[in-house]
Every structure is written in C-alpha cells, then in structure tokens.
Amino acid sequence: MDVSYLAIYPEVQRKVQEELDDVIGRDKLPTLQDEQNLPYLCAVIYETIRFSSMSLFGVPHATKCDTIIEGYYVPAV
C-alpha cells in the first residue's frame, strides 16, 4: 500500500487504524487469518491497487483532448 494515499486521506488512515485496533489490538501483528475480519483495510488495499499503476512508467488513464478509439468516444478530462 502506498503510504502517500493515507497522508492525502487522513480520515481513511484513521478508520483503518480503528479497525486494526478493534480486530487485532495493539499487542500483535495481523496475519492472513485476520483478513476476513478486516473488510475496510482490504477495501483500502484493493482501491490502492486499482488506482496505482502496475507498470514502471504507467499508462495514462485519461485523454487530454476528446478522441474516438475504435468507435468509442472518449471525452477529455
């Protein structure tokens, strides 16, 4: 998980920490067996992966100008 996302969204960081404290506590580390009891943390991780580029240089996910690709209209952002 990219820590910068948590810095940008402190309310998400707070909710993740609350869930970890409620489910795991502060005396141990989470394990894979805890995953089913940490739905918010899992959702944050999956969203981070979804928004992150999986390649070194990344592929733009938006166009700078309106365009048509294989017959589909793609508006500029």
10-residue mean pLDDT profile of the chain (77 residues): values are 79 96 94 95 89 63 86 89
Residue 68 is predicted with a pLDDT of: 92
Grouping H, G, I as helix, E, B as strand and the rest as coil, residue 15 is helix
Using N-to-C axis directions, what is the helix angle for 10-23 and 39-51, rounded to 10°? Answer: 140
Please give the tally of structural domains in the chain: 1
- Report the distance separating Cα 12 and Cα 27, nearest Å: 22
Q: Which residue range forms the structural domain that includes residue 45? A: 1-76
